[in-house]
């Protein structure tokens, strides 16, 4: 194995370790931190089923953001929908053989995934252009946008500009997943794309991107509004 392949293989496993380990650590922290009091923001469902339903709708629509600001909602919603396309687009590189359904929807997925830079650029411009958003933005916020945008652009370049050998990329990725690493394709754009993804994986669990997991634990949204009907116990109370 070349030194390049060896380095990327080690880095890949490190990044995966940080990503999954970090995510697990953070979410475990949320799950095990007590909620001393009932604090749902009302009006709110009075049954567990109602709460599940409300949150599924919230996840599917980003309703609170919609209520808050339509223009941000358009960008944010589009971005997250496109992420699903991107996911579908990349799934085929990790599964062998590719299931027929997954193969069939690839053209649609590609069409969606191609749009990734648009909402990112839109949100970034908005962040700079509106005085309130500019005020609250930190280098970390710009970094997250830059990283995602670069990943998107290098990804698109791989497809449309500097064409790469997708079969070899798939062999490499499958090798990593199957724990029998093979040589990495030494295609410069692919190496860029892949490195950026590794950086994202390391950044993710320790940044605001953690919202993707935290949202499932937010007491104001996931508690049931039934404090009189059923006594909520504070684990550290008396």
Residues that bind other proteins (CB under 8 A): 26, 29-30, 33-39, 41-46, 50, 62, 64-65, 67-69, 72, 76, 130-133, 135-141, 206-208, 210-211, 214-215, 217-221, 225, 227-228, 231-234, 236-237
Name the residue among 67, 63, 224, 203 with its Cα closest to residue 147. Answer: 203
Q: How far is the CB of 139 from other proteins (least distance, A)?
A: 5
Q: Which residues 6+ apart lie within 8 Å of 44 measured at CB?
A: 51, 54, 223, 224, 225
Q: Phi, psi (5° rounding) for residue 188? A: -55, -45
Q: How far is the CB of 7 from other proteins (least distance, A)?
A: 23
| CB closer to other proteins out of 9 and 72 | 72
* DSSP SS3 for 214: helix
Residue appearing with tokens 């496993």: 13
Q: How far is the CB of 3 from other proteins (least distance, A)?
A: 28
Give CA torsion, residues 20, 24, 27, 30, to 10 deg: -150
Q: How far is the CB of 53 from other proteins (least distance, A)?
A: 12
| CB closer to other proteins out of 37 and 108 | 37
| CB closer to other proteins out of 94 and 206 | 206
Bond preceding residue 97 cis, omega within 30 of 0:
yes
| CB closer to other proteins out of 76 and 175 | 76
């Amino acid at each position: 194995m070349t030194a390049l392949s060896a380095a990327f293989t080690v880095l890949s496993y490190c990044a995966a370790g940080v990503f999954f380990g970090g995510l697990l650590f953070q979410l475990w922290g949320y799950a095990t931190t007590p909620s001393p009091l009932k604090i749902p923001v009302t009006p709110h469902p009075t049954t567990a089923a109602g709460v599940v339903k409300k949150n599924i709708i919230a996840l599917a629509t980003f309703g609170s953001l919609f209520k808050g600001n339509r223009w941000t909602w358009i960008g944010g919603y589009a971005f997250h929908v496109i992420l699903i396309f991107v996911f579908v687009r990349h799934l085929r590189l990790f599964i062998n053989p590719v299931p027929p359904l997954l193969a069939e929807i690839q053209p649609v997925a590609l069409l969606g995934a191609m749009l990734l830079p648009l909402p990112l650029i839109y949100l970034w411009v908005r962040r700079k252009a509106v005085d309130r958003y500019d005020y609250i933005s930190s280098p970390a916020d710009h970094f997250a946008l830059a990283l995602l945008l670069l990943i998107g652009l290098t990804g698109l370049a791989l497809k449309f500009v500097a064409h790469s050998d997708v079969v070899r990329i798939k062999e490499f990725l499958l090798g990593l997943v199957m724990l029998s690493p093979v040589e990495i394709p030494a295609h410069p754009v692919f190496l860029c794309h892949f490195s950026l993804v590794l950086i994202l994986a390391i950044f993710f669990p320790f940044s605001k991107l953690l919202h993707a997991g935290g949202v499932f634990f937010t007491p104001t949204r996931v508690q049931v509004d039934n404090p009189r009907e059923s006594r909520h116990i504070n684990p550290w109370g008396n």
